[in-house]
């Protein structure tokens, strides 16, 4: 009985630590300034005055950039469409008195875009890098996903977070100051049948981020993994239920406000309290059960996506 008690206690303690460490870190960060008033109080003081945000013209990326601007950071917005970059620059610039620069870059083109970005960033001390850009396809079995789409998944979701971090990291190391935020996904928790390749790329982001965190800790650089669940954005346009929003599906504005609040406070977060609860509850079950549940869920979503496409075809 004694051995069972010890094993059980250790298992419970390990589970609580793994799932509640983000919450405890945030509580600590809220209380700590009262006891250590000399700590940096703003993101600019902690990391620097400029933030680079990729995929900055829609969804989480756009709202994350807006929230950083609200907190006084200058922005470099990176996306593939010039007209949308100009529109978002004007929109955020009309709200907040910050400097904003934009860079047109299509990450699906691969290696060629990074020299262009590096040139455009010349002379800018990047304090925060937000690797948000990503792509996804409607739920579908791998054999029916086009090869072009699969190459884009790998090139954008894996390539961008790796190579842009590599470009910007040396200047952060030389200043001993900075933060790297990588947008992963709760889909990394288990395989995702019908989004198999997408979920695999997000598992890469998890391992890449956690490894990098240890590599650069000695240089005083903060690395954060953000793992959202469903957010009501265009990336989930195949599901009317998700896009309608609700308690389980926050909009991009609410999600980004919550996620930015955790920056500098914890190295790993789901970004939104409901998503944190969902993630913790899913981890209670063995991977086989989680995978089966996700398979059934996305099998229904696959049908919903097909119906959505047919509806749009009839309207067009």
Active-site residue list: 198
Q: Where are the beta strands (DSSP E) in the chain?
A: 50-54, 74-79, 100-104, 126-131, 178-183, 221-226, 268-269
Tokens of 264: 């500098």
Please check whether residue 273 is in contact with residue 229, taking contact to mean a CB–CB distance below 8 angstroms: no
Pairing of strands 126-131, 100-104: unpaired
Helix or strand run (H / E) with residue 176? none
State the burial class of residue 136 (Cβ atoms within 10 Å of its Cβ: 0-12, 13-18, 19+): buried
Instruction: Return phi, psi of residue 106, to 5°.
Output: -100, 105
Please check whether residue 50 is in contact with residue 120, taking contact to mean a CB–CB distance below 8 angstroms: no
The set of residues, in sequence order, having a beta carbon less than 8 Å from that of 7 and lying 6+ positions away, is: none
Q: How far apart are CA 73 and CA 78, in angstroms?
A: 15
Please check whether residue 289 is in contact with residue 297, taking contact to mean a CB–CB distance below 8 angstroms: no
């Amino acid at each position: 009985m004694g051995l069972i008690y010890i094993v059980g206690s250790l298992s419970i303690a390990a589970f609580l630590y793994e799932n509640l460490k983000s919450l405890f870190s945030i509580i600590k960060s809220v209380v700590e300034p009262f006891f250590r008033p000399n700590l940096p109080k703003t993101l600019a003081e902690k990391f620097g005055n400029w933030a680079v945000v990729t995929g900055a013209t829609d969804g989480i990326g756009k709202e994350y950039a807006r929230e950083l601007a609200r907190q006084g950071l200058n922005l470099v917005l990176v996306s593939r469409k010039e007209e949308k970059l100009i529109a978002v620059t004007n929109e955020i610039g009309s709200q907040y008195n910050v400097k904003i620069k934009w860079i047109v870059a299509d990450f699906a083109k691969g290696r060629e875009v990074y020299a262009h970005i590096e040139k455009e960033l010349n002379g800018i001390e990047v304090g925060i890098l937000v690797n948000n850009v990503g792509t996804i396809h409607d739920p579908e079995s791998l054999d029916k996903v086009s090869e072009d789409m699969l190459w884009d998944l790998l090139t954008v979701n894996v390539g961008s977070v790796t190579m842009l971090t590599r470009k910007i990291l040396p200047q952060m190391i030389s200043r001993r100051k900075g933060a790297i935020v990588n947008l992963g996904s709760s889909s990394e928790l288990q395989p995702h049948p019908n989004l198999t390749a997408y979920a695999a790329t997000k598992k890469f982001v998890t391992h890449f981020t956690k490894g990098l965190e240890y590599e650069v800790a000695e240089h005083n650089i903060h690395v954060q993994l953000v793992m959202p669940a469903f957010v009501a954005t265009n990336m989930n346009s195949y599901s009317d239920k998700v896009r309608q929003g609700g308690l389980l599906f926050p909009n991009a504005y609410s999600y980004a406000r919550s996620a930015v609040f955790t920056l500098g406070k914890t190295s790993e977060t789901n970004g939104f309290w409901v998503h944190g609860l969902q993630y913790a509850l899913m981890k209670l079950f063995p991977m086989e059960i989680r995978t089966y549940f996700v398979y059934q869920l996305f099998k229904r979503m696959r049908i919903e996506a097909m119906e959505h496409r047919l509806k749009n075809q009839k309207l067009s």
